[in-house]
Amino acid sequence: MNNNENTPLLEVKNLKQYFDINVGVFKSKPLKAVDDVSFYINKKETLGLVGESGCGKTTVGRTILNLYKPTAGEIWYNGKQIKTKADINEFRKKATMVFQDPYSSLNPRMTVADIIGEPLDVHNLYSTKEERRERILELMDYVGLNSEHASRYAHEFSGGQRQRIGIARALAVNPEFIVCDEPVSALDVSIQAQVINMFDELQDKLGLTYLFIAHNLLVVRHISDRIAVMYLGKIVELADAEEIYSRPLHPYSKALMSAVPVPDPQVARANKRIMLSGDIPSPLNAPSGCPFRTRCPHATEQCAMETPEFKEISKGHFVACHNIDKIN
């Protein structure tokens, strides 16, 4: 975690990502995976993005990098809008991704050296084979892999080591911005801490900016400067990490934070877990108005009629809720 420089490196404005789903013969319906999402990330800052499985977190990350073409909205990087194919190609030299599953995201037919060196080949980032080899060994050293690992294949490594290979590959283009898509969720708890600490060290050493997607709230709290809470394709709350843990304002954020385990048994017993009724609705048939209203104990008629505005309640603390004054 780093002190940000209060200069937005990445800005996302009214981003939408809809997928057409066939629902009958010659009939399709839009699945609103990401629906009108806006945020910014400052240079050298980590923004954590949390929410239940299926809420659209990964789709946000992939759409930012144009792995999915956005349905609507704007993506700005370093003050310039990413629009044309040339913009996207240039952007991908500065922005990259660490994928969730270290088992399926590495090519089993390639050696570690070739996996890490692939971005160097794609973007022509070396002039001699010796320069390429030196850069690969340097990247391996960054993530704690030995030089003798270079000629091995991915299946010869543990999950934690495979994720290190994936991180080294992401660093190959010397990026400024990395989308970390649940990079530790497939790893053992003991290995998670090592990888998270490595992300912190790499941020300090290389001046990196992260969008850190996760559903483990303790992991996100440790690494993030600010946290955005997502529900059914929309961001419902965004604030500083400590602020959102100590004073969540949205009813969904309150329920999420009440589920975070506390190491002190007395405090844990005093804390009341907020249980939500019902299941998360399908983004194919999202509720009208506020997406959370079907599970919210404070929902009113207004919640069914109008989508709440995502507005700043206090400095840097944004919430989308009609009844914010009544429930806090």
In a domain, 214, yes or no: yes
User: What is the Cα–Cα distance from 136 to 116, expressed in whole angstroms?
Assistant: 6
Mean pLDDT of 191-220: 93
With pLDDT > 70 as the criterion, what percentage of the chain qualifies?
97
The pLDDT of residue 1 is 53
Q: How confident is the model at residue 64 (pLDDT cuts 50, 70, 90)?
A: very high
Among 146, 174, 202, which residue terminates a domain?
Answer: 174
Q: How confident is the model at residue 168 (pLDDT cuts 50, 70, 90)?
A: very high
Is 164 in the same domain as 184?
no
Is 181 in the same domain as 154?
no
The token duo for 34 is 């990401």
Q: How confident is the model at residue 189 (pLDDT cuts 50, 70, 90)?
A: confident
Mean pLDDT of 314-324: 93
The pLDDT of residue 267 is 67
Render pLDDT for 246-276 as a digit per residue (tens, 0 to 9): 899 999 999 998 877 777 677 667 777 788 8
**Is the pLDDT confidence value at 4 over 70?**
no
In a domain, 161, yes or no: yes
CB distance 182 to 58 below 8 Å? yes
The more confident residue out of 141 and 7 is 141
Is 81 in the same domain as 185?
yes
CATH number at residue 75: 3.40.50.300
Among 152, 174, 196, which residue terminates a domain?
Answer: 174
Mean pLDDT of 98-121: 93
**Is the pLDDT confidence value at 286 over 60?**
yes
Is 83 in the same domain as 230?
yes
Is 244 in the same domain as 321?
yes
The pLDDT of residue 70 is 95
**Mean pLDDT for the chain overall:** 91
The more confident residue out of 23 and 121 is 121
In a domain, 3, yes or no: no
In a domain, 102, yes or no: no
In a domain, 89, yes or no: yes
Is 190 in the same domain as 48?
yes
Cα distances (angstroms) measured from residue 231 to each of 97, 101, 108: 22, 23, 35
Mean pLDDT of 60-69: 96
C-alpha Rg value of the chain to the nearest Å: 21
In a domain, 142, yes or no: yes
Cα distances (angstroms) measured from residue 169 to each of 110, 131, 321: 13, 16, 41
Is 238 in the same domain as 323?
yes
**Is the pLDDT confidence value at 3 over 60?**
no
The pLDDT of residue 5 is 56
The whole domain housing 257 covers: 8-94+176-327
In a domain, 304, yes or no: yes
Is 137 in the same domain as 204?
no
Is 210 in the same domain as 189?
yes
Render pLDDT for 303-318 as a digit per residue (tens, 0 to 9): 999 999 999 999 999 9
Is 162 in the same domain as 204?
no
CB distance 39 to 227 below 8 Å? no
Among 121, 145, 174, which residue terminates a domain?
Answer: 174
In a domain, 1, yes or no: no
The pLDDT of residue 103 is 85
Three-state helix/strand/coil letters over the chain: CCCCCCCEEEEEEEEEEEEEEEEECCEEEEEEEEEEEEEEEECCCEEEEECCCCCCHHHHHHHHCCCCCCCEEEEEECCEECCCHHHHHHHCCCEEEECCCCCCCCCCCCEHHHHHHHHHHHCCCCCCHHHHHHHHHHHHHHCCCCHHHHHCEHHHCCHHHHHHHHHHHHHCCCCCEEEEECCCCCCCHHHHHHHHHHHHHHHHHHCCEEEEECCCHHHHHHHCCEEEEEECCEEEEEEEHHHHHHCCCCHHHHHHHHCCCCCCHHHHHHCCCCCCCCCCCCHHHCCCCCCCHHHCCCCCHHHHHCCCCEEEEECCEEEECCCHHHHC
Sign of CA dihedral 147, 148, 150, 154: negative
Number of domains in the chain: 2
Is 246 in the same domain as 323?
yes
CB distance 95 to 88 below 8 Å? no
Is 198 in the same domain as 239?
yes
CB distance 308 to 232 below 8 Å? no
